[in-house]
Every structure is written in C-alpha cells, then in structure tokens.
Amino acid sequence: MPGQGPKKYRIERSINNGIERISYFPEDRRFATPILMQHGMWHGAWCWQQWQELFAEWGWESHAISLPGHGGSPVQHPIRWCTLDYYLRFLKAEVDRLPAKPVLMGHSMGGAIAQWYLKYVGGELPAVVMVASWVSRYAVAESVVPWFRLDPIGILLASLTLSATPYIRNPERAAEKLISAGSVYSPEELYAKLGPESLLVTMQHNPPFWSPAKHINAPMLWLAGEIDAVVGLESERRSAADYGADFVVIPNAAHNLMLEHNYHETAAIVHRWLENRAVK
C-alpha cells in the first residue's frame, strides 16, 4: 500500500505559467509512456495522490495538473465564465509538453475534457482511461432530472449564481455527491480541498453544443462507480459502447473512484489493462 516503507519514487511539484503540476517519477521506471491525469469539477491535481503513489510503485511516471483556479493554480480567468474549450487549451498544452504521448486519464469533467481532446485535437494516444466520466451524450432525463432530485436547492442556487459551486456548498452536500462512507477523505476533509466551478461547462457538454467523436483510434477503458450519485451507470455503459471502450463497474464505489475505499483495486485494474494493451 502507498505510504508503507521507503518511497520508491520522487515527487516534483511546480507552478509554471499559472498551472500547478504534480509529477511522480519512479526509481525503477518500467514504462516509457507517461500517464497524464486530468481532474474534474471543483477538484485539483491533489485528488490523484493515492493513484500517483501506486502507479509510481508499479513503474509508471505520472503527471497531474490543476486547471486555472483549481488546486494550487491561480485564477487566470473568472471561474464563472470558464468553458470546456478554455480548459481544453491547458490539457492540450500539457500533452504537447510531454516528451512522449501520454495515457490520458480523466475523472468526471476531466473525462469530458478528454473527450473534447479526442474530438477537436485528435492525434495518436497510447490509451485513454475514463474515470466516472461525464458521458458521451446526455438526455435531459439522465442529466438534469437526477441532479435536481438529488439537490433541488443546489440546482436553484447554481442557476441563480451561474456557478456550480452551490452544488457542493457544505461537507454534507459535497460528500453525498462525490464519496461514500468508506472514502479516504472525511466529508470535512474533502470539502476543505474543493474549490469553485463554472456552470457553463455543464451546459456545453450537452446537445446541441456537443456530440461525441465518431471515430477514435486510442483504446479506451471506462470505469464506473456502482453507487455513483451524479453519473448514471447505464448512461456510462452506453457511452463506453459509443467509443468501443472496455467497461468496468467498480463495486460499492461512489463518484470519486480514486478516493474510495477500494481505490487500490481500481488502480490495479487500470494497471493490468494497460499492460494487457501492451502500453510500454
């Protein structure tokens, strides 16, 4: 398990051009391909720590970035007016910066940004891993209605403020949407790390503004939490089929798969899948 015994990796944290980057470099690097991890709404690079430790121990180099105004990255543009195409700019810059094309891993909104990368940037990637990602295509009954039922006051406040921040306005509300009782974070610990988020991004990843790429070349793994409160399991299953992705349901896991009680087992699924896909 991470944190037990001497570390077999080196950690570098930097902020360059306003973007926080947390990188893990294994002492015994087994794979030339790096992993690039993109966080979701309200989160930052910090949310990948447990997985970055594990992947480093298994011989993978990984990089996690915080979008502007998230994690340790300073605000560059008012969060309320941030869009997915604005966020895509920073993901593309990070892919271009790396000396080798990375495995692209996206959680939640980060999965949506990864989908935008596949559609609007393209190019060859060794593999893509969707972690409880926003789905490939929504219907109102699958997106707005469940969110409204879960927290009608949060939806109302978000609509009035043009901000998604009220949806995670206190530890209880953040926890009910993002983690289970077995998470490595308590509701209070998680809430203390979360930040503001744009509401516009949720509108952009819906018709008529969005439709999924018709053809992608990269192999894809789609991970879904069995008890995810914000992304529907069947919608994720359909999305995996849209992309021809391998689909795995993680039992008894909520939305933040990399922070759940079984995060180690989930990371191991990704590791084995990459090995089986001959990602070197």
Per-residue pLDDT tens digits for 20-47: 999 999 999 999 999 999 999 999 999 9
Q: Which residues contact 239 (CB under 8 A, 6 or more apart)?
A: 130, 133, 135, 136, 137, 212, 222, 245
C-alpha distances out from residue 149 to 2, 177, 194, 230, 238, Å: 38, 12, 22, 11, 22
Mean pLDDT over all residues of the chain? 93
Q: How confident is residue 1, by pLDDT bands cut at 50, 70 and 90?
A: very low
**Residue boundaries of the structural domains of the chain:** 10-276
The residue ranges of DSSP E strands in the chain, in sequence order, are 9-16, 19-26, 35-38, 62-66, 103-107, 128-131, 220-225, 246-250
Type and span of the H or E element at 115: helix 109-116
Q: Which residues contact 14 (CB under 8 A, 6 or more apart)?
A: 20, 21
Token pair 């992993």 is found at: 35
Q: Count the alpha carbons within 13 Å of 183 in the hemisphere toward its beta carbon.
A: 25
In one letter, which amino acid is 249?
V
Residue 176: count of CB within 10 angstroms of its CB: 16
164, 197 Cβ separation under 8 angstroms: yes
Q: Which residue has the higher pLDDT, 217 or 255?
A: 255
Superfamily (CATH H level) for 10-276: Alpha/Beta hydrolase fold, catalytic domain (3.40.50.1820)
Token readout for 208 is 């008529």
Q: What is the pTM of this model?
A: 0.94
For residue 163, the 8-state DSSP code is: B
